[in-house]
């Protein structure tokens, strides 16, 4: 294992410390072990939004704390859910008296710990709502959508719910509703070329032959739809796009937001090679495209591969997606 680290057991803590030191105007650490990331300047009188999940996916999850996005985030070890007490501290930090939306991926440990945290905080008078991201089409059939994993599509929900929560007189129920609507219209597919190595494990999370790729693999190395020969970029882009168009019921005349995401090791050059074919495919189906997000948004350590996310837009979703935001990881530049 070759990584830039000190003690593997301190990997997550030192990474969070470094992120907060790099952007002290945006982030602050709290919680007993510093595993809760909050806004450097807390918001006043708005519905709060909290997320959480394991380390190893930056800028997801903690990187999306900021104006127009999250208010706080609880972070666990690499690929491990956050502790219950950290979930509670994050919810408290985000609460301004208008309740808190819990917005995170559909993973068992995260669900259990956030459920326990919200139940215990009811005694403190903190109202919560929970919305789960279930956008990974590679993890379950559409008629079992509630079983799907949450992957990069969660970031669109952060952006849209975050913008809604900043509006004067926005309510917790309204913020939860718009987050759910965004996720109901979001689909993602990923493809892995090479594995990553969790520092404390010291070995790859899975194996692939030199000429193999896995279509639909999850961000922790969960099995995908199929494993097969490495495809040419245009062929791969077509397969990813067609899978999403069919599953997401996206048709001619629709407008979509597109996120083309590196899982860690895949460089921008290769994402742009994919983008030229994805864009051509969308326009060929008479589907209009808002300015894309292309880069590292939801990673899996140093895994080589990419994910493609489509969000079918309506006027409100698009307006919220384009609202101002304070984040080093999001740009509305067109």
Catalytic residue positions, numbered: 57, 220
H-run or E-run covering 113: helix 108-121
From the DSSP assignment, how many helices (H) and strands (E) are in the chain? 8, 13
Residue whose tokens read 């019921």: 249
Q: How far is CA 5 from CA 8, 23, 54, in A?
A: 7, 20, 18
d(CA 262, CA 244): 17
Residue 212 has phi, psi (to 5 degrees) of: -110, 155
| Both structure tokens of 67 | 């104006």
Helix (H, G, I), strand (E, B) or coil at 148: coil
State the pairing for strand pair 72-78/36-39.
Answer: antiparallel
Q: Which of 187, 28, 153, 171 is CA-nearest to residue 101? A: 171
SS3 (DSSP) at 242: helix
Tell me how far CA of residue 184 lies from CA of 136, 146, 153, 301, in angstroms. Answer: 12, 11, 10, 27
Q: CB–CB of 134/108 below 8 Å?
A: no
């Amino acid at each position: 294992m070759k990584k830039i680290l000190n003690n593997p057991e301190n990997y997550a803590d030192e990474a969070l410390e470094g992120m907060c030191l790099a952007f002290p105007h945006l982030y602050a650490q709290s919680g007993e072990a510093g595993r809760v990331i909050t806004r450097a300047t807390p918001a006043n009188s708005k519905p709060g939004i909290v997320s959480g999940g394991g380390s190893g996916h930056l800028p997801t999850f903690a990187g999306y704390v900021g104006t127009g996005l999250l208010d706080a985030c609880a972070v666990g070890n690499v690929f491990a859910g956050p502790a219950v007490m950290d979930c509670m501290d994050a919810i408290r930090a985000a609460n301004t008296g208008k309740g808190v939306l819990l917005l995170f991926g559909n993973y068992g440990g995260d669900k259990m710990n956030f459920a326990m945290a919200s139940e215990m905080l009811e005694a403190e008078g903190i109202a919560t709502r929970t919305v789960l991201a279930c956008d990974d089409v590679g993890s379950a059939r559409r008629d079992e959508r509630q079983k799907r994993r949450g992957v990069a599509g969660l970031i669109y929900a952060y952006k849209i719910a975050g913008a809604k929560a900043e509006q004067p007189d926005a309510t917790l129920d309204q913020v939860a509703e718009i987050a759910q609507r965004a996720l109901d219209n979001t689909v993602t597919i990923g493809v892995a070329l090479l594995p990553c190595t969790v520092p404390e494990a010291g070995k790859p999370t899975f194996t692939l032959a030199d000429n193999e790729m896995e279509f639909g693999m999850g961000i922790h190395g969960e099995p995908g739809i199929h494993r097969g020969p490495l495809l040419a970029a245009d062929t791969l882009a077509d397969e990813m796009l067609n899978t999403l168009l069919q599953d997401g019921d996206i048709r001619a005349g629709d407008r979509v937001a597109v996120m083309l995401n590196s899982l860690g090791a895949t460089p921008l050059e290769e994402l742009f090679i994919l983008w030229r074919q994805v864009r051509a495919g969308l326009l060929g189906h008479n589907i209009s495209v808002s300015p894309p997000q292309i880069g590292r948004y939801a990673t899996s350590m140093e895994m080589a591969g990419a994910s493609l996310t489509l969000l079918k837009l309506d006027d409100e979703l698009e307006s919220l997606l384009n609202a101002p935001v304070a984040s080093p990881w999001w740009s509305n530049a067109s």
